[in-house]
Amino acid sequence: MSEQTFTESDRTDAVEPDMVDQNRAPKSEAPTSGVQPMNMIQALNSALHVKMAEDPNVLSFGEDAGYFGGVFRVTDQLQQKHGLTRSFDAPISECGIVAAAIGMGSYGLRPVVEIQFADYIYPAYDQIVSEAAKLRYRSGGQFTAPIVVRSPYGGGIFGGQTHSQSPESLFTHIAGLKVVIPSNPYDAKGLLTAAIEDDDPVIFLEPKRLYNGPFDGWHEKPVSPWKTQDLAQVPTGKYIEPIGKARIMREGSDVTILCYGTMVWVSLAGAEHAGVDAEVIDLRTLVPLDIETIEASVKKTGRCVIVHEAPKTSGYGGELSALVQERCFYHLEAPITRVTGWDTPYPHAFEWEYFPGPQRVSDALKSVMSGQNTGAR
């Protein structure tokens, strides 16, 4: 920053000269309509820009989520385009970030907060569970918590024990929360838009291994870019993907695969590797769950494999397994099986042994088709 642009006003207003002072911020404008290839980072960023331009009550904040634009650049240029009071940095206090958002929401704002990694969300757990999830019920509907808690989750990036966790089942267990996990840029933008407009708290987990491409688990191969995928062709304007509706990524007749996040692309690769005619369902929303789509598919195929990255014990796959068994028991031709992470902290030295890859999915599919399934892999 040169001395020529550093004015006396800059010296006294507590705003850094290369930040955007709200008083001089440009008017928020939504992008013109059209379709562009986007990766998931760009799609999420677009959703935030569009909603902040449309609704002055929408704001974004978190650790390094203002001036810097987020460690993964999802909030890039929000401060420059929408002003310092609508996109700003927060102290390193996840509990404080979510608590502030809850208060803002109760006063009519719609905050979207970023928790830098899902591994850091635990200090905020009390505020999410005891305040955000309960506010509508405790106040008899007089107050709500229309907040979105965004956070990158999952492994495959050599993040070790503290940057690779998948804590989704900690939130699916809490009544009053919605839990959303997109697997592609198109859904990411549409679902984030829907989450921002929702009057109840939404935990929005972003599979960081998919930020820059549809990673299928074959880690020895070069990364494939999003631009070659149909689901990376994203409208630049506003659109909504409904919360609570699954997407059938591949139709099939032999076995149903239930998955979400990075495991959607791993499951597609695993089915191809096994040579099995699998129907792959991207849940997209864990709560509320599109149980109708699941039930129809399993009754058609007679078999079910559940894939998720989190540890097996008490993972969301256990709930899915119970629901499928309750609703489809007499249609099942083989036991339900789960392909998951191990019941250990994420090991930095054994990334691909822990990560549920396409080979493990393929083995599970072959086992289910042969009738020799042991229940979990």
- Here the tokens at position 99 are 């608590």
* Helix, coil or strand: residue 120: helix
- What are the CA-CA distances from residue 95 to residues 59, 91, 102 (Å)? 18, 10, 11
308 an active-site residue? no
How many CB atoms are located within 10 Å of the residue 3 CB? 6
The residue from 49, 82, 163, 273 that is catalytic is 163
CA dihedral of residues 245, 44, 271, 164 (deg, nearest 10): -110
As a whole number of angstroms, the distance between CA 147 and CA 331 comes to: 40
Question: Whose structure tokens read 């106040």?
Answer: 139
As a whole number of angstroms, the distance between CA 285 and CA 150 comes to: 14
- Here the tokens at position 299 are 């009754």
As a whole number of angstroms, the distance between CA 352 and CA 362 comes to: 15
Q: DSSP letter string over 2-28?
A: -GGG--HHHHHSS--TTS--GGGPPPP
- Burial class of residue 119 in the structure, from the number of CB atoms within 10 Å of its CB (0-12 exposed, 13-18 middle, 19+ buried): buried
Helix (H) or strand (E) holding 111: strand 110-114
Structure letter (DSSP) for residue 62: E
Distant-in-sequence, close-in-space partners of 24: CB < 8 Å, separation ≥ 6: none
Catalytic residue numbers, as ranges: 163
